[in-house]
């Protein structure tokens, strides 16, 4: 089996499971994002902190001058601590608490992505009390279903996210009327792990027609935030280790019709950090069942929950075996039958103690880890740092 290149000798003395981050790949990815987005005038990339808030990763991304997309006060703090400038921070989320809004106002972030009229009024009131004006964008629900898992599709009509088309005009007029908010633009997000560029074309078409219809009624649309969602190739991490940023930014360049000088904001998470992260684990036991063979490893859904909750695929390689492949169900030790990484996977013969690499786990891996079953949170090691 073709495998990724990992410093296996350096892993040998380490306690598993842990996350391993290839910072060289992260930097190559960030350079590519900078280069591809430069082809689109007005493009501003904000890294979606929810994908991975490991401080080392955040610092690396901040050092490239990108902005940050945050969904809680905690994420805003993590972004600021890592060196992201407040002027590059956008704050989204359907349930921002008063405390979080106050904190964001104090920090002088660049944008509140507002998801309802009720929230807009609260932000207005809190900004008034703080003697400030809050810059707001309205999150519009574009009613586009991206071809992806239902749990991570967010752009459909009746959804907790965003403001529906029919209500948009009313909320927009309210934003223009209120004294302590400043209307800045519109925000969209259609889902995650999107590989079909036609989904983004559909989003561009929606934005174009919405802008036109608002203009006809004498309403501004401001700048545009198209959210995130670009997918990566989970099947072939060794061949395709960087997402297709060229195709992605080209799609918006070609299909989004905006007046010259309009800023276009992007909130990319997964595509930036997923490929550089690998969950490293050891085989505890090989259990021969009657019809199946189980590789029971010491990583579980508490380190990487994506397979358990989305049936997400992550390629698994045995880094310390070159014996012929066998078929395994790779499972974790947690007391849940969904604690399964892969079923019927062809992997080089496993023996107790073998090191297993669970690939493309840099996004929504460490950041979604939990302490279920009193398991410790996974530590992380980096390609650059001596360990």
State in angstroms the smallest separation of the CB of 9 from ligand LLP: 31
Only segment of 72-80, 196-204, 224-232, 326-334 that touches ligand LLP (CB under 6 A): 224-232
Only segment of 37-45, 115-123, 269-277, 333-341 that touches ligand LLP (CB under 6 A): 269-277
Residue 308 binding ligand LLP, by CB under 6 A: no
Residue 181 sits at φ, ψ, to 5 deg, of -125, 150
Q: Where are the alpha helices (DSSP H) in 143-244?
A: 165-177, 197-216
Residue 269 binding ligand LLP, by CB under 6 A: yes
Residue written as tokens 């309205």?
138
Compute the distance between CA of residue 183 and CA of residue 133 in angstroms, rounded to an integer. Answer: 10
Compute the distance between CA of residue 82 and CA of residue 119 in angstroms, rounded to an integer. Answer: 28
Residue choice 30, 79, 152, 334 for contact with ligand LLP (CB under 6 A): 152
Residue 229 binding ligand LLP, by CB under 6 A: yes
Q: Which CB, 75 or 348, lies closer to ligand LLP?
A: 75
Only segment of 196-204, 226-234, 332-340, 351-359 that touches ligand LLP (CB under 6 A): 226-234
Residue 227 binding ligand LLP, by CB under 6 A: yes
Q: Which CB, 151 or 238, lies closer to ligand LLP?
A: 151
Strands 380-382 and 18-21: parallel
Compute the distance between CA of residue 59 and CA of residue 81 in angstroms, rounded to an integer. Answer: 9
Contact 334, 303 (CB under 8 A): no
Q: What residues between 240 and 259 interact with ligand LLP by CB under 6 A?
A: none
Closest C-alpha to 43, from 181, 245, 206: 245
Residue choice 40, 92, 279, 283 for contact with ligand LLP (CB under 6 A): 92
Only segment of 169-177, 189-197, 286-294, 333-341 that touches ligand LLP (CB under 6 A): 189-197
Q: How far is CA 347 from CA 225, 304, 305, 318, 354, in A?
A: 42, 19, 21, 7, 12
- Residue 334 contacts by C-beta under 8 Å, 6 or more apart in sequence? 300, 301, 302, 372, 373, 375
Q: Which CB, 223 or 267, lies closer to ligand LLP?
A: 267
Q: What residues between 339 and 368 interact with ligand LLP by CB under 6 A?
A: 363-364
- Contact set with ligand LLP (CB under 6 A): 48, 51, 69, 92, 152, 154, 189, 192-193, 227-230, 267-271, 306, 310, 363-364
């Amino acid at each position: 089996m073709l495998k990724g290149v990992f410093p296996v000798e350096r892993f040998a003395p380490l306690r598993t499971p842990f996350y391993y981050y290839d910072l060289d790949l992260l930097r190559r990815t960030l350079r590519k994002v900078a280069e591809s987005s430069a082809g689109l005038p007005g493009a501003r990339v904000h890294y979606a902190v929810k994908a991975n808030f490991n401080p080392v990763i955040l610092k690396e991304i901040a050092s490239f001058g990108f902005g940050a997309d945050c969904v809680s006060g905690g994420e805003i703090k993590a972004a600021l601590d890592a060196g992201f400038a407040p002027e590059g921070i956008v704050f989204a989320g359907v349930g921002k608490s008063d405390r979080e809004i106050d904190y964001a106002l104090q920090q002088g972030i660049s944008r509140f992505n507002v998801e309802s009229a009720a929230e807009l009024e609260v932000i207005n009131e809190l900004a008034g009390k703080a003697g400030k004006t809050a810059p707001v964008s309205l999150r519009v629900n574009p009613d586009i279903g991206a071809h992806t898992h239902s749990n991570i599709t967010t752009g459909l009509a009746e959804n907790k996210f965003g403001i529906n088309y029919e209500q948009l005009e009313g909320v927009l007029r309210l934003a223009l009327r209120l004294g302590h908010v400043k209307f800045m633009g519109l925000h969209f997000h259609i889902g995650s792990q999107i590989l079909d560029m036609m989904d983004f074309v559909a989003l561009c078409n929606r934005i174009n027609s919405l802008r036109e219809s608002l203009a006809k009624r004498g309403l501004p649309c401001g700048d545009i935030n198209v959210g995130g969602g670009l997918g990566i190739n989970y099947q072939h991490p060794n061949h395709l280790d960087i997402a297709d940023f060229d195709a992605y930014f080209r799609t918006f360049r070609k299909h989004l019709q905006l007046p010259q000088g309009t800023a276009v904001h992007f909130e990319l998470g997964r595509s930036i950090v997923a490929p550089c992260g690998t969950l490293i684990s050891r085989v505890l036991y090989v259990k021969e069942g009657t019809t199946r063979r189980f590789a029971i490893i010491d990583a579980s859904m508490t380190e990487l929950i994506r397979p358990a909750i989305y049936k997400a695929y992550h390629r698994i390689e045995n880094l310390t075996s070159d014996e012929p492949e066998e078929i395994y169900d790779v499972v974790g030790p947690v007391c849940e039958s969904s604690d399964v990484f892969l079923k019927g996977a062809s992997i080089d013969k496993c023996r107790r103690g073998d090191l297993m690499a669970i690939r493309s786990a840099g996004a929504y891996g460490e950041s979604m880890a939990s302490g279920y079953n009193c398991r410790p949170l996974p530590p992380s090691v980096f390609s650059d740092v001596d360990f």
